[in-house]
Structure 1
Amino acid sequence: MEDWRRIDIDAFDPDSGRLTKEDLKPPYPVAVGQAEIDSKISQLRSAATSGDFSTALTLVTSDPPYSADQAIKERYFAAVLSVLTQVRQAEISTLVKQLSSSQTDVLIKYLYKGMSCPEGQKQGGTLLSWFEKVTQHLGVAPVVRYLSDRNTV
């Protein structure tokens, strides 16, 4: 026992299990289907065209398609991006104040996704305005939660 600092104590504990990739996956039972996303996109578009951005933003942030495949996520993100860019600058602050903490976390995920893809970079000023209003209202807490969350939109 001369080199006691390099002993793997987990090897001696029968109850300690090693985590696998399956253990780290979020517990979502079924994947989101195309029909569900299509209905949600149509609800988003109808709310946005009628000018009811509060309802549209609530739809965007309430139940994101975490368990969908990448193609469905991209289609949904395009609809989310169109809703976010239709909102006037003066209304952003009031809409952000209406959101709960978990909804704000989802909004931050969409903002970061928008800033990282070419479609969103074309609307960079608008996305940065959203980001500014969120951080003015809640500080950097949603950003920290985004960085530590494994769920992607």
Structure 2
Amino acid sequence: MDNWRRIDIDAFDPDSGRLTAQDLIPPNEVPVTLQDIQPKISQLRSLASSGDMTSAIQLAVNDPPYGADDITKATYFRAVLEALTQVRQSDITTIVKQLTSKQQDVLVKYLYKGMSVPEGQKQGGILLAWFERLTQTAGVNPIVHYLSDRQTV
């Protein structure tokens, strides 16, 4: 038994809890198609164009399409980004304070996604203003939730 350090002792433990790819899929993800969220996108754009930015942002971060494919998520993200960029900087704090903690968590996800894609990077100053006001209001909790959540927007 000269190579005792190379023995995989977890292979002998039935309760070792090895993760499979199936274990990494977040629970309760309902498949969402573009046709399913098209009315929500239309309503979001309507609220944003009418100037009701608080309702538009609340709608945008309420019940995001976690179970959608990448194209559908990208389409929804563009609508959310349009709404975020239409808000005046002086109104951001007021809107953030009106969001629930769950909605703030979703907002952080969209802000990080915006900063990671080219179309969002063009609006980087606005997204950073949102991020600053969100962390001033909610602290670091939404960031911690973002880092530990497996559901992506």
Q: How does 1:1-153 map to 2 (within 5 A)?
A: 10-153=10-153
Alpha carbons 2:29, 2:66 under 8 Å: kept: no
Relative to the length of structure 2, the TM-score reads 0.90
Total equivalences in the alignment:
153
Q: Deviations over 1:33-65 (max 9, x none)?
A: 111121110010011111111111111111111
Alpha carbons 2:58, 2:103 under 8 Å: kept: yes
1-side partners of 2:46 and 2:55: how far apart?
10
Per mean C-alpha deviation after superposition, the further-off stretch among 59-68 and 23-32 is: 23-32
What is the identity, as a one-letter code, of the residue corresponding to 2:147?
L
Identity across matched positions, percent: 66
Q: Give 1:30 shift.
A: 3.0
What is the identity, as a one-letter code, of the residue corresponding to 1:143?
I
Unaligned runs of 5+ in 2: none
Q: Give 1:144 shift.
A: 1.6
2-side partners of 1:106 and 1:92: how far apart?
16
1-side partners of 2:61 and 2:91: how far apart?
17
Q: Give 1:130 shift.
A: 0.3
Q: Give 1:141 shift.
A: 1.6
Relative to the length of structure 1, the TM-score reads 0.90
